[in-house]
Amino acid sequence: MSEHRPIRSFVLRQGRVSNAQRRAHETLLPLYGIPFADDLLDLDKVFGRSAPKFLEIGFGMGETTVAIAQAHPQNDYLAIDVHTPGVGSLLKQIEESGLSNLRIIQHDAVEVLQRMLPPECLDGAHIFFPDPWPKARHHKRRLIQPQFIALLSKRLKHGGYVHVATDWEEYAQQILQVLGNEPQLANTAADYAPCPAYRPSTKFEQRGLKLGHGVWDLVFRRK
């Protein structure tokens, strides 16, 4: 993948940062955050143990990330997002929950994958409800693109998985096509997968389902 990446999948619309989020960001990021650097990480060294390693890209306010990390203390989780309110929220929850198996990098996920994560270091990657960029002229901003999936796949161990969930049907169709066209990956289902038990349903998702909206999960494994 080219080092030059002019189109990003996010816009830094920071919105309001609450006082609690700001305090958490200022005081806890040095404890639970990993600074972006052009240097490959040793994830076992970061977490202080040898354990399965999972990546989460785009964690919103962090509730799902914390729930998964709490339910699976045998695993380590590296969460990446760019938005300060969500990072502050997740840091606060890590501190309150006493979690030792969750760390944050506040940076562009593509650059983290390119510069900080070595090949075949991940047992799985979660991308839950990425921005669908619904307008056709913005589709080029969508995170799930062939180049990105090729890059991410190289960071998965053989047998490791990538799990994407979306509530935007047209984006789900594009994701299915992109993942299906990646030669390093194989679908675990005929098309869309049942929601794995480890992914908790969010309040937003539950509200949408009550309104008749769909949610599509896609789970592909590295060959």
Q: Which residue has the higher pLDDT, 98 or 203?
A: 98
Quote the pTM value. 0.90
Q: Which of 42, 81, 108, 131 is catalytic?
A: 131
Average pLDDT, rounded, for the chain? 91
d(CA 62, CA 76): 15
The more confident residue out of 209 and 172 is: 172
Output the CA–CA distances (angstroms, integers) from residue 182 to 22, 155, 179, in the order listed.
40, 14, 5
H helix runs in the chain, sequence order: 19-32, 43-47, 63-71, 84-97, 109-115, 146-155, 169-181, 203-210
Burial of 20 (0-12, 13-18, 19+ CB in 10 A): exposed
More confident position, 41 or 206? 41
Let me know: does 195 contact 64? Beta carbons within 8 Å. Answer: no
Residue 131 among the catalytic residues: yes
If one compares 34 and 20, the residue with the highest pLDDT of the two is 34
State how far the alpha carbon of 99 is from the alpha carbons of 50, 174, 184, in Å. Answer: 17, 35, 33
At 1 the pLDDT is 45
Can you state the percent helix, strand and coil of the chain, rounding each to 5?
A: 40, 20, 40
| 182 has a pLDDT exceeding 70 | yes
Beta bridge partners of 186: 221
Contacts of 45 (CB under 8 A, 6+ apart): none
The greatest distance separating any two alpha carbons of the chain, rounded to the nearest whole angstrom, comes to: 47
Query: pLDDT tens-digit profile of 92-146?
Result: 999 999 999 999 999 999 999 999 999 999 999 999 999 998 888 878 889 999 9
**Terminus-to-terminus CA distance in the chain, angstroms?**
20
CATH of domain 19-222: 3.40.50.150
